Structure 1
Amino acid sequence: MATYLDFEEPLRVLQEEIEKVKEVSGNTEVDMSDKVEELEKKLADKTKELFSSLTPWQRVQLSRHPERPYTLAYINAITEGTFQEYHGDRNVRDDKAMVGGFGMLDGQTVMFIGQQKGMNTKMRQYRNFGMANPEGYRKALRLMKLAEKFNKPIVTFIDTPGAFPGLEAEERGQGEAIARNIYEMMKLKVPVICVIIGEGASGGALGIGVGDRVLMLENSWYSVISPENCSTILWRSWDYKEKAADALKLTSSDMKKLGLVDDVIKEPLGGAHRHQEEMFEIVRKELKKQVKALAKIDTDKLIEERIEKFCKMGVVNEK
């Protein structure tokens, strides 16, 4: 059974009505297609109404929807079964929150890297809720360098509530690992495309978020801190998370307006969690287009433009 968020409750009610009418029609062999069509139109209209006026907090909720596709779902759909995952950072261990490997995209080999969450409680614990340790970021950098060695483009999928904040992660150099990735990604000699597919929080996102093109799905968010933690710091309570979400300007439209991402990828009406296959195809086409465009740019110019783009962020010119 589909999961509905609080603000999606009217959609759940209409969907249940449609299912009941179909069930009655099937049991009684009475033609009720007109009634079904009427309800489906109401559902479509209500969906359009709800999703045309989402608040920042509602978009945060959508980014965390349990049925929203995660990194491996995108990779497996886009590469059509050609994905070869690699493991380990050659130092500590294999971080299950960070996945990566080569796959084919439209006949071309691409290095795919991203944070992976779990679909159920057991898998969420196995994947550490998508929060990578230092070895996860070092694994990601190892794979980026491998892609650079063989002159293959890199695609990263960002979906994390942040890097793992545990004591052991700090002892193994969490801050250094993320900083090293940011530094090294600036200088990579191959095209890098970053796609925020869900949550893009703090340094956990930046550790694989430096690219020639940074894209966001419509119902994803990108910020230095989550609304809940922001609320806790400012108001000593999670109760103001909606107010914090408004103030943080974390939505895809805000990020595009501020020049912090290059483009927004529109989601099917109802969100990526309701139309996964359609979402996969939209992302595949966008990646294919971006890889083709970036391949035409000279390596030195590619690096120069990448560095310049990130150096301009946050700069204010006072007259």
Structure 2
Amino acid sequence: MFQQNVSMLNAIHLLGFNNSQDLNYLLFAILLLIYCMTLCGNLLLVTLVVYSSDLHRPMYFFLTQLSIADLLLTTDIVPILLHTLLHKVGTISLGGCFTQFYIFACSECSECLLLTVMSYDRYLAICNPLHYTTIMNHNLCLKLAIMSWLLSLSLAMADIATTSMLEFCGSNTIDHFFCDLFPLLELSCSDISSVLLKIQFIAAPVLVCPFLIVIISYSCIIYVILKIPSATGRQKTFSTCSSHLIVVSIFYGTLFGVYILPTKGQSLNITKLLSLLYTVGTPLLNPVIYSLRNAQILKAFSTFRSYALQKIHQMAAF
């Protein structure tokens, strides 16, 4: 797709965090632990939803899709980051850099859309409970999930197609720990103004529209909750969507901090730290937040653990 335009630049060097090697070793150990915990946490969450019939509900189905997006994101970013920390500089081909950015854009876009779908699910459950099971049926859940993934794949491909029209013949060094959009554009020796305009036009439906839907959904939810007469009822109703609200706040807060707010005068280390939060921290926090604040998931985990231990004892007996 972009062989002719990028032939002048072959390998790209990722500088990572520019720390001392001893500090890089410490970061390597911490991030490796976080990566393993992220894989285990998200895979366990998907397993629990598939295993437990009590979790065969729309909210938990969308939660498995969110876990898949988190697994895709963290696996796309962390292995190369770990390699960079060990060797001070990470080397990746330009094609590999485009591939990493494509997977990153796809997973972030899908997470954004899935969080929006989940906010709509919470809106129906709280504001229209009598018709919730009729509206949010299995077919609609499947269609919403498929549409989220297809739209994410398409928009990420549009970003790549637009960016690949540039010529890359400048510096081959990116002062970041992964191939993000703006560091990638800085490698180009072409005029990027039109490309930035196109990408902003593509990104608007993914960021602005879902964010507005989330705001409207939770405005309606809060309005309904405030009308509940008892404090216990208000607290119980709000608890059904509090985990999702926390995840949405973390996701959009870090995303806006990196891509929306003015970066002029902002330290590059702060940008890297925020990027680390939503590429590495968020995939770890999502299953933790949903699990610790959800009695049904904790109950399913207890049942699954007992079942797994029983199977292990049976295998050990042989």
Structure 1 length normalisation: TM-score?
A: 0.33
- Identify the structure with bigger relative contact order (alpha carbons < 8 Å, sequence gap 6+): 2
Flag the structure with higher helix content. 2
Structure 2 length normalisation: TM-score?
A: 0.33
